[in-house]
Copies of this chain bind each other. A is one copy, B any other.
Amino acid sequence: MRIALAQINTTVGDIAGNEQLIADRIEAAREQGAAVVLLPELAITGYPPEDLLLKEHFLADARAAIDRLAAQTRGIVAMVGFPERDSTNVYNSAAILRDGAIAHIYRKVHLPNYGVFDEQRYFASGPRSGSSIDVNGVRLGLTICEDIWIPGPPETIEARDGARIILNISASPYHVGKGLEREAMVRKRATDNDAAFVFCALVGGQDELLFDGQSFAVDRRGDLIARAPQFVEHMLICDVDPDGTGRTTQIAPLLETDEEIYAALVLGTRDYVTKNGFEHVVIGLSGGVDSTLVALVAVDALSADRVTCVTMPSRYSSEGTRGDAHALAANLGVELLELPIENARTAYDEMLAGTFNGREPDLTEENLQARIRGNLLMALSNKFGWLVLTTGNKSEMSVGYSTLYGDSAGGFAVIKDVPKQLVYRLVAARRRRDPQHDPVPDTVVTRPPSAELRADQRDDDSLPPYEVLDAILEGYVEEDLGREALIARGLPPDDVDRVIRLVDLAEYKRRQNPPGIKITEKAFGRDRRVPITNRYRG
């Protein structure tokens, strides 16, 4: 039994485009001798379509596309995800297309409603009794994504009429190491149920979510017999026997952790830019490690000729950072504009002198500099149609160490879910890739981090050292631990209290930040929904 897994990159809302992509893959699978081809969960609409699912005409358009695909499907059985409207409910369903018609519909049972997921907002559950189809006399069990994450029906062979091959179509968002988590889970399911599992994954970026691909198949013993590469479209061919044994076809190697994260950022950035119709991006380049990483990712995602960098020096910009910004841009082959900000700074100082009436400079003036830079980048965006990529990392975003409407101003926040220490690791990974043509000046990573918004400023003037900060943040933000649990880990109580307070108070800023790519277990945004008005501390 040859089963083809079409790991495709859909676009949300592009029903016509997705339909064409699916039709092409069905045909390609047929040509490769597959009896069955799988397409990802909700392939016809893209995932997640969110509140588009509340539009009746959207559901009707999606159904019409499935009907057209069915009519064209000959000589192969295709399993395609789509939102199914019946008289009372909407289901997250898979259509089985064969012989020119919809032969069967399977409805997802387990609807995730945690983390980034809102599926119970849209869908009703299918019956737990499960379902299966027969293809060439072989029984195949049907499941969608979450159905196989929860032990018990419908993923069991009992609920699949004894099928020893279980098909699964998924749209499973990435975080670090998620691919191996999926494989480990499915291998366990296979041995528990004494059945082969075939897992077809979505690939591509959608707003804050990134789908990493890595479709795969395991035999009934839980051994991997096929795996598609990460972060690219692919057609994975699996050969599985009716009894759940199989032969190895292709097992793509996995990227090392930091390379994997870097690849996630590249694909997430490329897809956000191109799916939203932008040709070109612009980045404020400070000479620091954060904007360096964003520039590296942007060039790898789009090529150098589609990236413009801007250096916007002030009286506090050091020769070192300015020089590094120029060197990096030159090494990458990207255009670099230089727009000094002192003129505007002076104008604001004069405009506000009467109102501020001799008060000492403070954060106000620091923020104004960051906002002038934000304005300049947005002016370039407005004039030339470029998308502004922002450069704030997760550690800064967490504690509000950024200027709202300043450095956080832009369309896409590439590294908003990357903690500061990981920023360094990712730059190092990128430099290792081709040491002969390393574009990054050493001083970018050896200089102590500074926002350069006042004289002799350093991040560690106002924040704990990043190794402490990142450890507190991981516990507080990603694990929902409280003060006592963090202190019990050996973290300094004063830093814990301060960081908790800063994280809570910065929620209003994060709510106004652009989207960026989720790479950790819990990203800011729809993954972590906390109130702004909130008196709880800890």
Decide: B364 and A536 in contact? CB cutoff 8 A: no
Decide: B356 and A533 in contact? CB cutoff 8 A: no
> A57 at interface (Cβ–Cβ under 8 A)?
yes
- The segment from A283-291, A370-378, A414-422 found at the interface with B is A370-378
Decide: B529 and A118 in contact? CB cutoff 8 A: yes
> A363 at interface (Cβ–Cβ under 8 A)?
yes
**A265 vs chain B, min Cβ distance (A):** 16
CA distance A57 to B479 in the complex (A): 12
Decide: B531 and A13 in contact? CB cutoff 8 A: yes
Decide: B57 and A482 in contact? CB cutoff 8 A: yes
Decide: B514 and A511 in contact? CB cutoff 8 A: yes
Contacting residues, chain B, for A374 (C-beta < 8 A): 371, 405
> A455 at interface (Cβ–Cβ under 8 A)?
no
CA distance A341 to B530 in the complex (A): 37
Decide: A52 and B536 in contact? CB cutoff 8 A: yes
Contacting residues, chain B, for A120 (C-beta < 8 A): 113, 120
> A50 at interface (Cβ–Cβ under 8 A)?
yes
CA distance A276 to B271 in the complex (A): 38
> A252 at interface (Cβ–Cβ under 8 A)?
no
CA distance A432 to B515 in the complex (A): 44
Q: How large is the interface on A (under 10, 10 to 19, 20 to 34, 35 or more residues)?
A: 35 or more
**A370 vs chain B, min Cβ distance (A):** 10
Closest B residue to A533 using CB positions: B275
Decide: B382 and A536 in contact? CB cutoff 8 A: no
Contacting residues, chain B, for A535 (C-beta < 8 A): 11-14, 17, 275
> A346 at interface (Cβ–Cβ under 8 A)?
yes
CA distance A267 to B404 in the complex (A): 26
Decide: B340 and A530 in contact? CB cutoff 8 A: no
CA distance A57 to B374 in the complex (A): 40
Contacting residues, chain B, for A359 (C-beta < 8 A): 383
> A162 at interface (Cβ–Cβ under 8 A)?
no
Contacting residues, chain B, for A511 (C-beta < 8 A): 514-515
Complex partner residue of A368 from B375, B512, B526, B534, CB under 8 angstroms: B375
Decide: A55 and B379 in contact? CB cutoff 8 A: no
> A316 at interface (Cβ–Cβ under 8 A)?
no
Q: A405-B405, A535-B13 are in contact. Are A356 and B343 (CB under 8 A)?
A: no
Q: Report which residue of A50, A207, A337, A383 has the largest number of chain B beta carbons within 10 angstroms of its beta carbon.
A: A383
- The segment from A186-194, A217-225, A347-355 found at the interface with B is A347-355
Contacting residues, chain B, for A512 (C-beta < 8 A): 512-514
Contacting residues, chain B, for A484 (C-beta < 8 A): 57
**A13 vs chain B, min Cβ distance (A):** 3
Contacting residues, chain B, for A12 (C-beta < 8 A): 531, 533-536
Decide: B52 and A534 in contact? CB cutoff 8 A: yes
Decide: A14 and B536 in contact? CB cutoff 8 A: yes
CA distance A114 to B56 in the complex (A): 16
CA distance A364 to B386 in the complex (A): 12
Complex partner residue of A480 from B55, B206, B528, CB under 8 angstroms: B55
CA distance A364 to B385 in the complex (A): 10
Complex partner residue of A363 from B363, B382, B530, CB under 8 angstroms: B382
Q: Report which residue of A55, A376, A411, A526 has the largest number of chain B beta carbons within 10 angstroms of its beta carbon.
A: A55
> A272 at interface (Cβ–Cβ under 8 A)?
yes
Closest B residue to A343 using CB positions: B347
Decide: A515 and B532 in contact? CB cutoff 8 A: yes
> A153 at interface (Cβ–Cβ under 8 A)?
no
> A48 at interface (Cβ–Cβ under 8 A)?
yes
**A18 vs chain B, min Cβ distance (A):** 9
**A466 vs chain B, min Cβ distance (A):** 25
CA distance A71 to B515 in the complex (A): 47
Q: Which of A1-29 contact B (CB under 8 A)?
A: 11-15, 17
Contacting residues, chain B, for A48 (C-beta < 8 A): 531
Decide: B383 and A532 in contact? CB cutoff 8 A: no
> A502 at interface (Cβ–Cβ under 8 A)?
no
CA distance A17 to B380 in the complex (A): 49
Contacting residues, chain B, for A531 (C-beta < 8 A): 12-13, 48-50, 52, 206-207
Complex partner residue of A382 from B11, B13, B351, B367, CB under 8 angstroms: B367
CA distance A276 to B512 in the complex (A): 17
10 closest cross-chain pairs (CB), A and B: A13-B536, A14-B535, A57-B482, A364-B382, A347-B347, A405-B405, A13-B534, A13-B535, A343-B347, A344-B347
Binding site for B on A (CB under 8 A): 11-15, 17, 48-52, 54-58, 61, 113-114, 118, 120-121, 205-207, 271-272, 275-276, 337, 339-341, 343-344, 346-348, 350-352, 355-356, 359, 362-364, 367-368, 371-372, 374-376, 378-380, 382-383, 404-405, 409, 411, 480, 482, 484-485, 508, 511-515, 526, 528-536, 538
A-B contact pairs, 27 of them (CB 8 A): A11-B535, A12-B534, A12-B535, A14-B536, A51-B528, A55-B480, A57-B482, A57-B484, A113-B118, A118-B529, A121-B529, A207-B532, A275-B533, A276-B533, A339-B351, A343-B347, A343-B350, A344-B348, A348-B375, A352-B379, A355-B380, A364-B379, A367-B378, A368-B375, A404-B409, A405-B405, A515-B532
